[in-house]
Amino acid sequence: MELPFAEPYRIKMIEPIRRTTRSEREAWIARAKYNLFNLRSEEVYIDLLTDSGTGAMSSAQWAEIMLGDESYAGASSYYKLKETISELLGMPFLLPAHQGRAAENVLFSALIGVGKEGEGKVVPGNSHFDTTKGHIEFRHAHAIDCTIDEAFDTEIDHPFKGNVDLGKLEKVFMAHPRERIPLCLITITCNSSGGQPVSMANIRETSALCKRYGIPVYFDAARFAENAYFIKLREPGFADKAVKDIVREMFSYVEGCTMSSKKDGIVNIGGFTAFRNEETFRAATSFNIMFEGYNTYGGMAGRDLGALSVGLREACEPDYLSSRIGQVAYLGKALTAAGVPVQKPYGGHAIFIDAKRFLPKLPREEFIAQTLGVELYKEGGLRGVEIGAIMADRDPDTHENRYPALELLRLAIPRRVYTSDHMDYVAAVVINVFERRDAIKRGYRITWEAKLLRHFTVELAPAT
Ligand code: F0G
């Protein structure tokens, strides 16, 4: 018999979670104005809102916390992290930041500009994450999505749905003068298209095309280790390569990266920008000092820099990655077996339910994925997140709602936190709702929204 995957760790400390009743949940979600972000964590039984900052640190990481050097400048914890990043990613210049979007703010201030300096500029790439797009649009520039078309059909089983469409990218290069394209950004894995990886061949070819037009390429590297593992599993020629070597090769094609360390850094807070080139690094340092803090701490405690240096290495360990990707697939397979429409192949950090296929009769104006998210919460205290029309915000020029090709409800799995039993529970919740889907006839309408990144604070009421 083939031995099943099992977690490559055992549990040393537990954190209690509590089941609640349906009537409690109905009252809480109404009080939360049908926005899952407004719930208190005690009101949630299984929290799959995000895999960001929600992972469990290892004993080695906790040990590193005790060794943290809190010196303002030149802390040894900074140098440990710098060495790790230099060795793992091949990027010698490092600026810590307090999280991923802060790193975006620093990098984009240096490359796109500040205030209206971004006007008329474009940043092409595969689907940009919402904060990334927010930081681009905040500078009056535009993010252009050049992801391959296959990514937008959840039924197509393409191994690298995060890939950049080189034809779409070249069209952007031909339509805009070089000085209006400060960078091309590749997000690995591509969160917005379903936690889908980008192949090594696509990274190489994108980089070569950008080089021909003189455009620097950067990674949004939040889930770089998961991307590398998918390359090992799915791309011919990489099965026998070590994940670390795959990571090194991926980064060899780019100029630098932003990173939300809350994902594949397996820490609860943190981020950074890393650069190959000293000149760009220098241009970014003044923004880092202004927004984040001095170059050797950048909004982070020394102890957290130390824990990150260990977490980045652990995230590249093959046993960890096989258990991580295996657990996500375990949930995906349970849902698929019951006929629940989910993005295929399964993503690296999450299962994405195709809400349009789940609730085909609900009008898009009533926010399909959000409606599904509320139903799953009411059913079993499960919290996912909408990646659909609410998250897509309004068009900055026309102020009309933007309706993305996909309405997804994401179930993001925190790293090293939940067991297979929890996954069985999650599957049962989703399947129960799936079985009574025809009774869900109405969704929600917005009663209040912010101008940018509205999904975090939006307030809703049942559509009538
Ligand atoms: N880039 C990607 C691809 C992300 O997924 C995120 C965050 C960020 C950048 C921003 O990083 O949160 O540290 O500021 N994604 C989280 C999520 C919030 O739930 O997917 P941050």
End-of-domain residue from the set 314, 345, 365:
314
Pocket lining: 35 vs ligand 1, CB cutoff 6 Å: no
Same-domain status, 380 and 401? yes
Q: What is the pLDDT of residue 69?
A: 98
* Apex 372 CA angle, 329 and 406, nearest 5: 70
Within a domain: 2: no
Same-domain status, 265 and 351? no
Residue 242 corresponds to which tokens in the numbers above?
């070590």
CATH number reported for the structural domain that contains residue 217 in this entry = 3.40.640.10
Q: CA 354 to CA 348: how far, in whole Å?
A: 16
Nearest residue (by CA) to ligand 1, atom 11, is 100
Same-domain status, 72 and 212? yes
Q: CA 285 to CA 9: how far, in whole Å?
A: 39
Same-domain status, 261 and 151? yes
Tens-digit pLDDT profile for residues 9-66: 999 999 999 999 999 999 999 999 999 999 999 999 999 999 999 999 999 999 999 9
Q: What is the pLDDT of residue 293?
A: 97
Total structural domains in the chain? 2
Q: What is the pLDDT of residue 396?
A: 79
Q: Which domain holds residue 356?
A: 22-51+318-462
Within a domain: 3: no
Pocket lining: 147 vs ligand 1, CB cutoff 6 Å: no
For residue 101, give the ligand 1 atom closest to its CA: 14
Owner of token pair 């039924």? 155
- Mean pLDDT (whole number) for 335-350: 96
- Mean pLDDT (whole number) for 362-366: 96
Q: Is the pLDDT of residue 4 over 80?
A: no
Nearest residue (by CA) to ligand 1, atom 16, is 52
8 A C-beta contact, residue 105 and residue 291? yes
Helix (H) or strand (E) holding 81: helix 76-89
Same-domain status, 118 and 204? yes
Percentage of residues of the chain with pLDDT beyond 70: 100
Same-domain status, 251 and 328? no
Q: What is the pLDDT of residue 452?
A: 81
Ligand 1 mutation target, pool 191, 193, 292, 385, most atoms within 8 A of CB: 191
Same-domain status, 303 and 352? no
Q: What is the pLDDT of residue 451?
A: 87
- Whole-prediction pTM: 0.95
Q: What is the pLDDT of residue 283?
A: 97
Same-domain status, 308 and 359? no
